[in-house]
Amino acid sequence: MAMGLRLEDVVVRKVVTISPEVSARDATDLMEEKSTSCLVVLVDGRIEGILTSRDVIQRVVARGVDPSGVTVGEIATHPVIVLNPESFLGEAIKVMLQRRIKKVPLIDGGGRLVGLVSLSDIVEFHSELFSALWERIIMMEPATFVEDEICVA
């Protein structure tokens, strides 16, 4: 049942976006303000990159780079792997595991950003689905068992 579900069932529609010209310092301030670890880099409504807190740690902090002196465009990951909201959850999980990524932007047929899905979103969705299924099982009438008589010669 869960394998027939699509990304549109679990997508986060409120995606925080940023311009590539913004400094890494301002980007991290935005991440903190919006309580997110991921910003989608947009130029004219099209995805140009994705910036995660891990990118900032690896490409700025670990290298001792001044976050005010580097732009989002210089440190964001690109090209970006994207999926369509109509893609199946199983396909998304496979792509994320193969590419070792945790978040994937979703685009419409025109290439416009329509949402973002993460592995944690998918896990949480499956957890809620499992809980609802478990609750229905518990509420079912108890099964009755009939024992057959066994003849021993």
Render pLDDT for 7-53 as a digit per residue (tens, 0 to 9): 888 777 789 999 999 999 999 999 999 999 999 999 998 999 999 99
pLDDT at 132: 59
User: Is 0.85 surpassed by the pTM of this model?
Assistant: no
Give the closest residue to 74 by CA, choosing from 91, 49, 96. Answer: 49
Q: What angle do CA 34, 107, 28 make, to 5 degrees?
A: 25
What phi, psi does 129 have (nearest 5°)?
-65, -45
Terminal CA-CA length for the chain: 47
Number of other CB atoms surrounding residue 87 within 10 Å: 17
**For the chain, which residues make up each domain, given as ranges?**
2-138
Q: How many CB atoms lie within 10 A of CB 75?
A: 21
What is the H or E stretch that residue 12 is in?
none
Residues 6+ apart with CB under 8 A from 117: 7, 10, 11, 12, 83, 92, 103, 104, 106
Q: Residues 104-110: what's their mean pLDDT?
A: 91
The count of other CB atoms within 10 Å of the CB of residue 43 is 12
User: CATH number of the domain at 2-138, please?
Assistant: 3.10.580.10
pLDDT of residue 2: 47
Q: Can you tell me whether residue 42 is helix, strand or coil?
A: strand
**pLDDT attached to residue 140:** 61
